[in-house]
């Protein structure tokens, strides 16, 4: 056992890992996580917006292990935070806030919570909240599993959104994908009975992964079981076109060689399972989704109802 450098006479005692914290979900000790924090520095408009408005729009979460962890004793009180009783929609991985702020504008009688670990993205969301005069959006810098496991009261969420999560293409990284059986259980805990879990991805391999995970959950039912299968399936169309293996992650530019991900998953020719939802009309087409279309990729929507 190593000794503490502050007191060489005392052995180093690791901090306890409390159930429900970031550490308990494998964020530390070499265990996999679903995100990489690519930067937290704020500059210019983002820094100004955060300094001036974070106290109003960002949920002040007590930490436990890391700066994205949530102390398991903390519970989010939506009625107190928003000053009213209203349905709560939570977006995991809200990015720059385009989708959630658009939805908040269109649904003023609904409360929205943006969950993100990328500080500049949250600052951008705050800029949109202010510029559009929104009062029904809050942001939180936090690890999603902890938000669902302890921060949100059980059965308090009307809809949960996960749009375009990191696909983690390589097979050895699939364990890092956000949507796993454990995550489905946490989603079920936070959602009220009858609540909706909406998911979208622009990669077929992740779409199949999500469909398989959710099919194994007894807490959810697919609202579109058997729909859009066979020739009508976007999965069949991707397999038959080979588009993902040609264009990879970016549009093919004139004069440049195509890029292949080489991790598009098995090609079964025809998707006989289906279960794909129509495009969610409440999701604005962001620049990220536009780039996927430009690259020739298809969008897979899935929608599940909490039993």
Mark the binding-site residues for S-adenosyl-L-methionine, compressed into ranges. Answer: 91, 116, 143, 166
Catalytic residue among 166, 212, 271, 301: 166
Note the Cα 67 to chain centre separation in Å: 18
Question: CA 25 to CA 151: how far, in whole Å?
Answer: 14
Distance CA 43, CA 278 (A): 39
Binding site per annotation, positions: 91, 116, 143, 166, 170, 202, 286-289
Burial 262-275 (b: 16+ CB within 10 A, else e): ebbbeeeeebebbb
- Sign of the CA dihedral with 223 first, then 194, 210, and 93 last: positive
Distance between CA 298 and CA 30 in Å, rounded? 34
Contact 186, 70 (CB under 8 A): no
Residue 239, CB-side half-sphere exposure with 13 Å CA sphere? 19
Show binding-site residues for substrate. 170, 202, 286-289
166 given a catalytic annotation: yes
Q: Which residues are catalytic?
A: 166
């Amino acid at each position: 056992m190593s000794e503490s450098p502050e007191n060489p006479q005392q052995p180093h005692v690791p901090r306890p890992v409390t159930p429900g914290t970031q550490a308990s979900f494998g964020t530390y000790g070499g265990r996999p996580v679903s995100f990489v924090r690519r930067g937290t520095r704020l500059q210019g408009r983002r820094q100004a917006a955060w300094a001036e408005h974070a106290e109003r729009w960002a949920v002040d979460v007590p930490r436990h292990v890391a700066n994205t962890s949530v102390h398991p004793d903390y519970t989010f009180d939506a009625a107190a935070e928003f000053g009213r009783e209203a349905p709560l929609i939570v977006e995991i991985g809200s990015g720059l806030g385009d989708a959630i702020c658009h939805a908040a504008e269109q649904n003023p009688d609904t409360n929205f919570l943006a969950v993100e670990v990328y500080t500049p993205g949250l600052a951008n969301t705050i800029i949109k909240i202010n510029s559009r005069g929104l009062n029904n959006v809050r942001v939180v810098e936090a690890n999603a599993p902890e938000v669902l496991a302890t921060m949100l009261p059980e059965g308090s969420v009307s809809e949960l959104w996960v749009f375009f999560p990191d696909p983690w293409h390589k097979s050895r990284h699939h364990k890092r994908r956000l949507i796993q059986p454990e995550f489905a259980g946490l989603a079920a805990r936070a959602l009220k009975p009858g609540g909706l879990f909406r998911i979208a991805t622009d990669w077929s391999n992740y779409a199949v992964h999500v469909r398989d995970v959710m099919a194994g959950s007894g807490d959810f039912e697919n609202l579109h079981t058997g729909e859009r299968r066979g020739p009508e399936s976007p999965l069949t169309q991707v397999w038959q076109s080979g588009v993902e293996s040609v264009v990879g992650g970016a549009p093919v530019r004139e004069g440049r060689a195509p890029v292949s991900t080489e991790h598009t998953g098995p090609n079964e020719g025809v998707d006989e399972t289906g279960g794909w939802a129509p495009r969610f009309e409440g999701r604005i087409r962001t620049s990220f989704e536009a780039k996927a279309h430009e690259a020739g990729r298809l969008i897979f929507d899935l929608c599940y109802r909490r039993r």
